[in-house]
Structure 1
Amino acid sequence: MKIEADIAAEFDAALEGIRQLPLSSKRGVYLAYIYYRKLFDKIGKKTAAQVMAQRIRVSNIHKFGLMLSAVVRYKTRGI
């Protein structure tokens, strides 16, 4: 869908913006980016009826895993 493609393009542009942030802000903003990107991916796999009928979330354990992988990527790639 066009809306999903537009949102995905905005996520890609946001990552470029995150790379330009000062170090003091970059890690937290990058973690939020990873979380919302994962949530967007989960929503994209659902039908419109499912989105309207049920809560879509990222489980706490999955959030923890995202945080760990984000920290590793941040440290190794320098985002």
Structure 2
Amino acid sequence: MPTLICFVLGVAAVYLLSRAMNGLPVGTSYAVFTGIGAVGAIALGVAVHQDPLSAGRLAALSLIVGGIVLARLTEPG
């Protein structure tokens, strides 16, 4: 069952990425896609597995989110 759930979620993620690429440049779309994955993985680790959340990790998360926002705001067009 976990494999099936993982497969369905993977297909849904790629579908949503392809939809996002209709309105955004490929680089911006992929940056958002991977950024959401990275931030989501860290947040899930903190929430579910009580992973430590240090100042360094918070800084890294803010740089990821800030980079995605900056890429979106400065895209041409």
Q: TM-score, normalised by structure 2?
A: 0.43
Larger radius of gyration: 2
Q: TM-score, normalised by structure 1?
A: 0.42
